[in-house]
């Protein structure tokens, strides 16, 4: 069974760093892209970026380039989303999702979400 | 970058109503368009991929159509469990994506 299990809720102060995780199981981790999606409170879905665990090829949305870093650890089938210096505006739910390509690319499995709260 | 514009941003409908949501791309995306449903507190769920292919287990009252720049998601007879938010997503600019801003379907 394919599963993406994300790390738990985080409460941080502005300026702090953070890394959240997305652990994959039930499939070949290196064969499928993993995307990260932000959802701010009461708002829609924002695509942040995507990584191919097989070779760490990473693409970012222009809105998030230089704001976050996406990485993987192939030894433990885990993808990461990282901030060096959090802002209050980073408060949101963050989802990881597996991309599959059949006719087109879409997200077939999603993590349960990681809630990040940034407040002084 | 490809921009996706959904309309309406919200709608009120009754059980049994036919509901149509549209999504327009800022440039042609062929049929590289997917639709997701999201309920409060839950991760999005795929409904339709490739503009009109129903994902496994999705009720047949959901359908998608369109190609190029204009796409439609139709719910033929709205059910109580369909009250949710719906998002279109383009995947033409592979591997990058763009989501529409969403449509919230509420009970009238």
- Mean pLDDT, contiguous 10-residue spans, chain B (108 residues): 95 96 97 97 97 97 98 97 97 92 94
What is the predicted pLDDT for the residue at B105?
97
What is the DSSP code (8-state) at residue B20?
Answer: E
Evaluate if residue A103 carries a pLDDT over 90: no
Min Cα separation A64/chain B (Å): 13
**Looking at the complex, does the CB of residue A120 fall below 8 Å from at least one CB of chain B?**
no
What is the predicted pLDDT for the residue at A53?
97
**Contact (Cβ atoms closer than 8 angstroms) between residue B101 and residue B85:** no
- Using a 10 angstrom Cβ sphere, with 0-12 exposed, 13-18 middle and 19 or more buried, the burial of residue B11 is middle
Residues in chain B closer than 8 A to A50 (CB atoms): 95-97
In tens, the pLDDT along A33-82 reads 999 999 999 999 999 999 999 999 999 999 999 999 999 999 999 999 99
- Residue among A66, A31, A28, A76 nearest A51 (CA): A31
**Looking at the complex, does the CB of residue B108 fall below 8 Å from at least one CB of chain A?**
no
What is the predicted pLDDT for the residue at A20?
98
B75: tokens are 């719910």
What is the predicted pLDDT for the residue at B56?
95
Query: Could you tell me what percent of chain A has a pLDDT over 90?
Result: 96
């Amino acid at each position: 069974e394919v599963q993406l299990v994300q790390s738990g809720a985080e409460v941080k102060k502005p300026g702090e760093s953070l890394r959240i995780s997305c652990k994959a199981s039930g499939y070949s981790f290196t064969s499928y892209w993993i995307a990260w999606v932000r959802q701010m409170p009461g708002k829609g879905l924002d695509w942040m970026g995507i990584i191919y665990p097989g070779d760490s090829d990473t693409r970012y949305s222009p809105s998030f380039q230089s704001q976050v870093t996406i990485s993987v650890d192939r030894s433990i089938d885990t993808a990461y989303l990282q901030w060096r210096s959090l802002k209050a505006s980073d408060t949101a739910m963050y989802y990881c999702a597996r991309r599959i390509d059949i006719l087109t690319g879409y997200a077939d499995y999603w993590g349960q979400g990681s809630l990040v709260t940034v407040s002084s | 970058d490809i921009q996706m514009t959904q309309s309406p941003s919200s709608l009120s409908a009754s059980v049994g109503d036919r509901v149509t949501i549209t999504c327009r791309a800022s440039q042609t995306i062929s049929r590289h368009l997917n639709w997701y449903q999201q309920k409060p507190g839950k991760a999005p769920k795929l409904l339709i991929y490739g503009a009109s292919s129903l994902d496994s287990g999705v009720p047949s009252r959901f359908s998608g159509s369109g190609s190029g720049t204009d796409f439609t998601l139709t719910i033929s007879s709205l059910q109580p469990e369909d009250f949710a938010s719906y998002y279109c997503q383009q995947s033409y600019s592979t591997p990058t994506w763009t989501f529409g801003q969403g449509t919230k379907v509420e009970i009238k």
